[in-house]
Chain A
């Protein structure tokens, strides 16, 4: 039998992966938004405020910055060490975690994460990014993709690998739900734009934020809000749709415990399985009936609960009595 992981190590591997995915998503949002500002006839503030909504940091931002102009928001989201969700912070956390588990991840993976962290830190110092954010953000995205690629190419698909995928997929599902939510919740109320070319541009930007525009066009061709909602929530082939992410997460969770897919043996599997089933037996019309924001909010709450259950099942270091040499602890 393969060796089980130290709980602390599994925890670190999982968070390493989540933070990499987080950094990539922030880079992509910022990049798309910056591109969007070139097309839309609105002032900076209107365009950059929703960004802060996606990452859930609006209050933190306004507490420390006076204006939400492009440079301030990019500084905040990319380089602000006091913003725990900035690209720099995410990569620092990812690296700290990776550093604490170097003995279980491949050297190539460590080197890639280390390299990226230093790249972003140097960019933060240079200040050149504000003139050409695109090049920098592209480098972050590619660097994160390389992390995934290196993981695939150099690590056995063992327990550590499954914790890596679990973290990546849960983080990604959360971010996709937020991208979609922001467009519905924040941009729709500006009714002036509905049906105009700007509306189309914004919807295309939502897809781009989820790196989904090209794949969407292959299946649906026309830009249509409902189809986009369907694609980002229910599509079963697109690797950033919520459904795809949760199914992949579920597979890894079951691979870790060894229990069959449509069953559960701990709280994490039970909660994730239930959310997957819920999505399997739902469709975009039902989402419209409930209300998109409310529906997505529900998913985000459940994702948090799944995260908590994973912590309790696998990472919690609360002292427990040893039941025997192979006894099960912690749960």
Chain B
């Protein structure tokens, strides 16, 4: 006897896979049928096999505090999230529109600052932005591109409408899970995957390499590309190593690199070799102790000078974080309008910027209904979910907002869409979001689908892996 899809309840939420109780969406029909054919034992076996595969691939993180340094995989649910290609097309268009505008915005901020002069964005908002880098003013990165790799977090509301929740332009992670999840899932449901016409994701590393090579200084024939990692103790180290391997390029740490006469060299067994393009997974702050934090042990002294002189390319460009500050986020619809003269294809979530007095007043008065976020943090840190928080936690955030209003925004608690997961012997709905990945090179490539993160705890709205979230494979299906 298979899973009881008949029992599945959408409970009033928008469901990614079901139109209503136990009625699958068309694109999900084949998969749901297959799930019903499989015995619960077989489903459990497949779930375990998928987890074992991820464990063996070493896609694990250490759980500190436990004595034996127990390692766990990032939780993975084998039921994929399926998106109809007709729903996907506007997302893809909307993402291209968004990164195009954000890139123009960054370039403007570090040059003429037209958008500030014309009063679209208050200049103080930029000046007070922690990710704004005065060192980058006047720099012309190759092809005028600043945000080469971005991950934009999307959520779907109770009506099924996609919204942008936040932009991530500073080394967004997770794309390795997209590729590994897909590999695992092909083994899990080969008979559904085959006939389903799922858009492939496997091309991402090629696209990434192609984009990076395109950044090399003009006189370089065969550019040498490297991925720069903070090292094995970084939580995203697996991804750094994975991407370097998939692209067939070097993975380097700061201590492997030196600069001389403006060139960047790697220390190799045969002496020093020049590096032309660096996909850096180190924050601006730590990139170069001569330009930014002098105590950084992770960076490369002199690399900003090489970058400024155009002798090495860096992706993403230093300083691009100015565009993913969560207070700046609130202005993205205006940014799109200003540079492209278009309406945003994917809307923002309504956002109260505590820096504005009216907004601040509203947030303080309605803190029990809002989600409050620190503007410069990610990964679910520095965040308050008003309706679920205790009175003490709310009071703490009220004080924080009053002390440093520039650092906080408020957003309404949204009714995130749900997707079914395997919960023991049952299938139950859980809240999900979606992070698509966008590569900005000579043209813009959007990875079909992206990383679906799922809050595995019943009722929870927090999908971050650091906060008990898991992931799912995401299928964009042509019909």
Minimum CB distance partner of B244 in chain A: A103
Provide the residues of chain A in CB contact with B56, threshold 8 Å: 111, 114-115
How many A-B pairs with Cβ below 8 Å?
91
In the complex the two chains form, what is the Cα distance from A111 to B232 in whole Å?
17
Supposing A6-B252, A322-B258, A327-B272 touch, asked if A102 and B241 sit within 8 A by C-beta, the answer is yes
Do the beta carbons of A330 and B267 come within 8 Å of each other? yes
B218 located at the interface, meaning its Cβ lies under 8 Å from any Cβ of chain A in the complex: no
Q: Digit string of B121-134 for contact with A (CB within 8 Å is 1, else 0)?
A: 00000000000000
Q: Which of B265-281 contact A (CB under 8 A)?
A: 265-274
Do the beta carbons of B58 and A326 come within 8 Å of each other? no
A132 located at the interface, meaning its Cβ lies under 8 Å from any Cβ of chain B in the complex: no
Taking the nearest CB of chain B, how far is it from the CB of A32, in angstroms? 29
Do the beta carbons of B271 and A326 come within 8 Å of each other? yes
In the complex the two chains form, what is the Cα distance from A107 to B245 in whole Å?
10
Do the beta carbons of A99 and B271 come within 8 Å of each other? no
Provide the residues of chain A in CB contact with B255, threshold 8 Å: 8, 317
Provide the residues of chain A in CB contact with B242, threshold 8 Å: 102-103
Do the beta carbons of B58 and A114 come within 8 Å of each other? yes
Provide the residues of chain B in CB contact with A275, threshold 8 Å: none
Supposing A8-B253, A319-B258 touch, asked if A314 and B57 sit within 8 A by C-beta, the answer is no
Do the beta carbons of A4 and B270 come within 8 Å of each other? yes
In the complex the two chains form, what is the Cα distance from A98 to B252 in whole Å?
15
In the complex the two chains form, what is the Cα distance from A147 to B274 in whole Å?
33
Minimum CB distance partner of B226 in chain A: A6
B143 located at the interface, meaning its Cβ lies under 8 Å from any Cβ of chain A in the complex: no
Provide the residues of chain B in CB contact with A7, threshold 8 Å: 256, 267-269
Provide the residues of chain B in CB contact with A326, threshold 8 Å: 271-273
Provide the residues of chain A in CB contact with B273, threshold 8 Å: 3-4, 325-326
Do the beta carbons of A6 and B271 come within 8 Å of each other? no
Minimum CB distance partner of A329 in chain B: B271
Partner of A314, one of B252, B258, B269: B269
Do the beta carbons of B256 and A8 come within 8 Å of each other? yes
Provide the residues of chain B in CB contact with A321, threshold 8 Å: 260
Do the beta carbons of A111 and B57 come within 8 Å of each other? yes
Provide the residues of chain B in CB contact with A44, threshold 8 Å: none
Residues of chain A at interface, number, CB under 8 A:
37
A237 located at the interface, meaning its Cβ lies under 8 Å from any Cβ of chain B in the complex: no
Taking the nearest CB of chain A, how far is it from the CB of B262, in angstroms? 11
In the complex the two chains form, what is the Cα distance from A329 to B265 in whole Å?
11
Q: Digit string of A7-47 for contact with B (CB within 8 Å is 1, else 0)?
A: 11110000000000000000000000000000000000000
In the complex the two chains form, what is the Cα distance from A99 to B240 in whole Å?
11
Minimum CB distance partner of B246 in chain A: A103
Taking the nearest CB of chain A, how far is it from the CB of B222, in angstroms? 11
Q: Which of A279-319 contact B (CB under 8 A)?
A: 314, 317, 319
Do the beta carbons of B260 and A322 come within 8 Å of each other? yes
Supposing A4-B273, A8-B256, A317-B255 touch, asked if A100 and B232 sit within 8 A by C-beta, the answer is yes
Q: Digit string of A74-108 for contact with B (CB within 8 Å is 1, else 0)?
A: 00000000000000000000001001101110010
Do the beta carbons of B272 and A329 come within 8 Å of each other? yes
Taking the nearest CB of chain B, how far is it from the CB of A264, in angstroms? 16
Taking the nearest CB of chain A, how far is it from the CB of B252, in angstroms? 6
Do the beta carbons of B250 and A6 come within 8 Å of each other? yes
Provide the residues of chain B in CB contact with A329, threshold 8 Å: 267, 271-272
Provide the residues of chain B in CB contact with A96, threshold 8 Å: 232
Minimum CB distance partner of B252 in chain A: A6
A235 located at the interface, meaning its Cβ lies under 8 Å from any Cβ of chain B in the complex: no
Do the beta carbons of A102 and B245 come within 8 Å of each other? yes
Do the beta carbons of A103 and B251 come within 8 Å of each other? yes
In the complex the two chains form, what is the Cα distance from A256 to B256 in whole Å?
20
Minimum CB distance partner of B247 in chain A: A103
Partner of B269, one of A5, A100, A115, A320: A5
In the complex the two chains form, what is the Cα distance from A114 to B73 in whole Å?
13
A183 located at the interface, meaning its Cβ lies under 8 Å from any Cβ of chain B in the complex: no
A134 located at the interface, meaning its Cβ lies under 8 Å from any Cβ of chain B in the complex: no
Do the beta carbons of B258 and A110 come within 8 Å of each other? no
Minimum CB distance partner of A105 in chain B: B245
Provide the residues of chain A in CB contact with B266, threshold 8 Å: 6
Do the beta carbons of A325 and B269 come within 8 Å of each other? no
Q: Most chain-B CB neighbours within 10 Å: which of A314, A319, A329? A: A329
Taking the nearest CB of chain A, how far is it from the CB of B177, in angstroms? 16
In the complex the two chains form, what is the Cα distance from A101 to B442 in whole Å?
31
Partner of B256, one of A6, A103, A104: A6
Q: Which 9 A-B pairs have the closest CB atoms?
A: A4-B270, A4-B268, A103-B245, A103-B244, A328-B271, A322-B260, A102-B241, A103-B251, A329-B271
B residues neighboring A (CB under 8 Å): 55-58, 68, 231-232, 237, 241-242, 244-245, 250-253, 255-256, 258, 260-261, 263, 265-274
A residues neighboring B (CB under 8 Å): 3-10, 96, 99-100, 102-104, 107, 110-111, 114-115, 118, 121, 125, 159, 256, 314, 317, 319-323, 325-330
Given contacts A4-B269, A330-B271, 17 further A-B contacts (CB under 8 A): A4-B268, A6-B252, A7-B267, A8-B253, A8-B256, A99-B232, A99-B237, A103-B244, A103-B250, A107-B57, A111-B58, A159-B269, A322-B260, A323-B271, A326-B271, A327-B271, A328-B271
Name 5 A/B residue pairs within 8 A (Cβ), A-sorted: A9-B251, A114-B58, A322-B258, A325-B272, A325-B273
